[in-house]
Amino acid sequence: MAIKGLLLLVLIALASTVARSESDDPSGIDPPSDDDDDDDTDDGVGDDDSSLGKGFRRPFGRKDFPANFIFGTASSAYQISRVKFLTWKEMSRCRDGPDGVGCGIRHAVAWPAVEMDERLDGYPSSRVNEAGIRFYNNLIDELLSKGIEPYVTLFHWDLPQVLESDYKGFLNSRIVNDFRDYADLCFRKFGDRVKYWITVNEPWSFSTLGYAHGTFPPNRCSDRSKKDEDEDGVFLDSQKGQIGITLNTDWLEPFNERSKNDQAAAYRSIDFMFGWFMEPLHSGSYPDEMVKRVGKRLPTFSASESRMLIGSFDFIGLNYYTASYAADKHCLISARPSYLTDPCVNVSRVDRYNQGGNKPRDVIRRNYHRDHLKNLSLAIKRDDANVKGYFVWSFLDNFEWVEGYRVRFGIIYVNYEDGSLERLSKNSSNWFKKFLK
Ligand SMILES: *[C@@H]1O[C@H](CO)[C@@H](O)[C@H](O)[C@H]1NC(C)=O
Ligand SMILES: *[C@@H]1O[C@H](CO)[C@@H](O)[C@H](O)[C@H]1NC(C)=O
Ligand SMILES: *[C@@H]1O[C@H](CO)[C@@H](O)[C@H](O)[C@H]1NC(C)=O
């Protein structure tokens, strides 16, 4: 998988979220833990870690990153507000809870909120939901007035129900034109102020959890998880915006580091997770390993689609959750063909994720962010990684899809218990405040 051509890498860390394994429950979340009180006296800013080595400033802080490095937080429309979402209606029945409302730097526009849930003549203008547009106009204006740059995700998995009912949404290539019209609408309405656009959030999760495992909406367990990731099409030069995509991937280590087969299995897993979406953007076709193993079930790009895909991004967002071991596994000839069995890899977890505490007291999360940012700083300084920004997942405690409100990943606490939705600083947000000074 060649990604040398990447010029601008924006890295978005979903820092506190779930571990995944292909051979296990994809949510993989540990039960809430109260064990979050290690290192409780040290605020972590300016600590004297000798492993930092030469060239590290003390106290550790913003200055350890390039001058124009972007620090932000992230959220998604459905996870923080109850706009008119549709495909997720079914899901929220499972584990419901009160709403948290808020805004982050990386926030998403809910497609169903800005377009009416009807097919009307004169599309798209007559489908525009002016109340939804007003909501996002206010949000964007408010962010800018506070000096916060909005990075807007167009599709964070909430599809208007009408497109699902009409033609099965992303299983039909008609989605391409509808997505283009929707993106065009957002550019026209918000592009005078929004300069950073993310087309799709985690196409891997949307495709795999929604279509292969069937645990996320639209809850389909199909043999074929095709995803049209042909995006944007419309670029308004006059707005001078940048358009990227947010991918997610685990890191895979060979289970037996001396085994050539396990080494190949580790690369293959990354090809099936990251390469699936990154390679077409780079070379215009799927990774060789996927082509070889998936065969005729893998769609092909036409020559003109390939040309459109190659280099069609201004930045790449990367969400990462965990690392796992990969062992080569003999492919079962009799297995029902599926994305889940195609890679012929046995993936096992390194460890289970500790969600970092469910209270405003979240010292584990704070330490996690601190240690992680030190590693990130080293990657930039020592390894010349071209990383432009870091967005913490997440801004507020929010609705974690199938987990509902049981788990909290925010650096700001939201009081659901008494229904007040009061927000409180956690140890992690206090740490960030000092770190950013
Ligand atoms: C997959 O890995 C696990 C843990 O390393 C092991 O117990 C299991 O036998 C492996 N399964 C296959 C099919 O190789
Ligand atoms: C963490 O937060 C709790 C409760 O807000 C506070 O009492 C404690 O002093 C904080 N600890 C650190 C290390 O900041
Ligand atoms: C990098 O991350 C690891 C794992 O959290 C941590 O043990 C280590 O201290 C970090 N490195 C630095 C330089 O902080």
pLDDT given at position 199? 87
Question: Shortest CA distance to 333 belongs to which of 320, 344, 318, 319?
Answer: 344
Range of the domain at 100: 9-249+354-436
- Does some domain include residue 44? yes
288 alpha carbon, distance to own chain's centre: 25
Q: What is the DSSP letter of 58?
A: S
Ligand 2 centroid to residue 413 C-alpha, Å? 13
Residue whose CB lies within 8 A of the most ligand 1 atoms, among 259, 329, 348, 351, for a mutation test: 348
- Does some domain include residue 307? no
Rounded distance between C-alpha atoms, residue 265 and residue 269, angstroms = 6
Ligand 3 centroid to residue 425 C-alpha, Å? 24
Residue whose CB lies within 8 A of the most ligand 2 atoms, among 361, 370, 425, for a mutation test: 361
Question: Shortest CA distance to 397 belongs to which of 364, 418, 373, 426?
Answer: 426
Rounded distance between C-alpha atoms, residue 153 and residue 142, angstroms = 17
Ligand 1 centroid to residue 258 C-alpha, Å? 17
- Does some domain include residue 302? no
* Alpha helix (H) residue ranges in 40-173: 77-80, 89-92, 111-114, 130-145, 161-167
- Ligand 2: atom nearest CA of 362 is 1
- Does some domain include residue 116? yes
- Does some domain include residue 129? yes
Q: Residue length, the chain? A: 437
**How many folded domains does the chain comprise?**
1
- Does some domain include residue 431? yes
Q: What is the DSSP letter of 271?
A: I
Give the C-alpha distances (Å, rounded to integers) separating 417 from 100, 377, 400, 406, 425. 12, 38, 16, 11, 16
- Does some domain include residue 102? yes
- What's the CATH number where 13 sits? 3.20.20.80
Q: Considering every ligand atom shown, identify the ligand nearest to the alpha carbon of residue 426 and give its number.
A: 2
- Ligand 3: atom nearest CA of 378 is 13
Give the C-alpha distances (Å, rounded to integers) separating 338 from 221, 273, 332, 341, 367. 9, 14, 11, 5, 39
Q: Considering every ligand atom shown, identify the ligand nearest to the alpha carbon of residue 326 and give its number.
A: 1
Rounded distance between C-alpha atoms, residue 113 and residue 138, angstroms = 14
Amino acid at 351: D
Splitting the chain (437 residues) into consecutive groups of 10 residues, what average pLDDT does each group show? 31 30 35 43 50 62 91 72 38 29 47 58 58 86 88 82 82 86 87 89 77 53 33 56 90 96 97 94 95 91 92 91 91 77 87 67 90 94 94 83 75 86 91 91
pLDDT given at position 79? 64
Tell me which residue has its CA closest to atom 9 in ligand 3.
371
Give the C-alpha distances (Å, rounded to integers) separating 102 from 73, 142, 195, 322, 410. 12, 12, 21, 27, 11
Tell me which residue has its CA closest to atom 3 in ligand 1.
348
- Does some domain include residue 422? yes
Element containing residue 315 per DSSP (H, E): strand 315-319
- Contacts with 63 (C-beta within 8 Å, 6 or more apart), sequence order: 57
